[in-house]
Amino acid sequence: MLMAALALACAVASSAAHAQQNDRVYGPVVNSYLLGLAEELGELEFLVARGEITRQSFERARARLTVARRYVERTAKERREDRVPAFQVLAADELNALGPGLAPAVDELRLGATVRQKWKLVAIEEAPARFYVFEALRAPAAASAVDPLSAIETILVEEKPFNPHPPPPPTAPAAEPEIPPVPPQTALPAAAAHPGPRVITYYLPAYSREARAKAIEGEVVVSALFRRDGKIRDITLVQRLGHGLDERAREAVRRIEYEPARRDGQAVDARALITFNFRLMRVTVQMHPATPLDP
């Protein structure tokens, strides 16, 4: 009993010393991100111990988190910035997550290559499977002039001429025309009718007090794995706003209710990007086309 207590005390002391060392090396933003990775790994270990995820899924997710940690630590040291860049860690079969029609050919990927001026390949890691690390290129500064048509939501209402003498109502309802049945051969197959995760319920994130006080507006982009068992895992931030909005967006993704993606009638895992557009007057959400993953 005494030996166990001493071992536990040593482990706690070692963990505290490691945390203090990290505090000296990294700033609060990077430390917070690394802590989130550690918590996500702990959640994965809990799930695999309970049999809620397969060992194969666990190993792949753990490898992805390991690559993300290496990249963030290396970037923070090299750039001497307390900032986590917008990036994605993708396997070869997940490159469609870069955006619709942006998946590059794996054989053509070289360090420094850019994808449609949106993403840059900054690292290729073996962990032990191969992962590609893409960093988002910074968008050019917006012009100072604002087009009012792009800033004002317009609702068009069809106008009908006013008739002071409307026709009298019909004495009997007209018979509804008979609709012929749809031929069986024209029906969509199940896989085409339900190709990706079908969202049942979205939860819009609320503004944080700090973001609203500073009038922060912009987009938060989140990448998430929509598993075949109806649970969302591996939630990562691709584009950040800070000021508490990133955490609100991530929690909103965690609460999404959906029906899994399907391939050949079978439920499969799929990865998708979700964009939250934060505006002081309204918050909107958009889910981009998902990429079904191999079983």
In this predicted model, what pLDDT tens digit does every residue of 99-147 receive, in sequence order?
A: 666 667 777 778 888 887 788 899 998 878 889 998 888 654 443 333 3
Each domain of the chain, given as residue ranges in start order, spans 190-295
How many CA atoms are closer than 13 Å to the CA of 197, on its beta-carbon side? Answer: 31
The CATH topology of domain 190-295 is TolA/TonB C-terminal domain (3.30.2420)
Residue 295 pLDDT: 63
Average pLDDT over residues 57-85: 88
Q: Name 71's Cβ contacts closer than 8 Å, sequence gap at least 6.
A: 87, 89, 122, 123, 125, 133
Please give the average per-residue pLDDT across 200-210, as a whole number.
84
For residue 197, give the amino acid letter. P
Q: Please, what is the angle between helix 55-79 and helix 28-49, to 10°?
A: 170
Using alpha carbons, list the distances in angstroms from residue 184 to 179, 188, 193, 263: 15, 9, 15, 21
| pLDDT reported for residue 144 | 37
Q: What is the pLDDT of residue 101?
A: 62
How would residue 166 be classed by pLDDT, with cut points 50, 70 and 90? low
Helix ranges (H only) for the chain are 2-25, 28-49, 55-79, 148-151, 190-193, 209-213, 245-254
Rounded to an integer, what distance in angstroms lies between the CA atom of residue 82 and that of residue 87? Answer: 15
3-class secondary-structure state, position 107 = helix
Least confident of 11-25, 99-113, 144-158: 144-158
Task: Convert the pLDDT of each residue in 215-260 to its tens digit.
Answer: 899 999 999 999 998 889 899 999 999 888 999 999 899 889 899 9
- Contacts of 63 by beta carbon, 8 Å cutoff, 6+ apart: 127, 128, 129, 131
pTM, rounded to two decimals: 0.46
Check pLDDT > 90 for residue 187. Answer: no
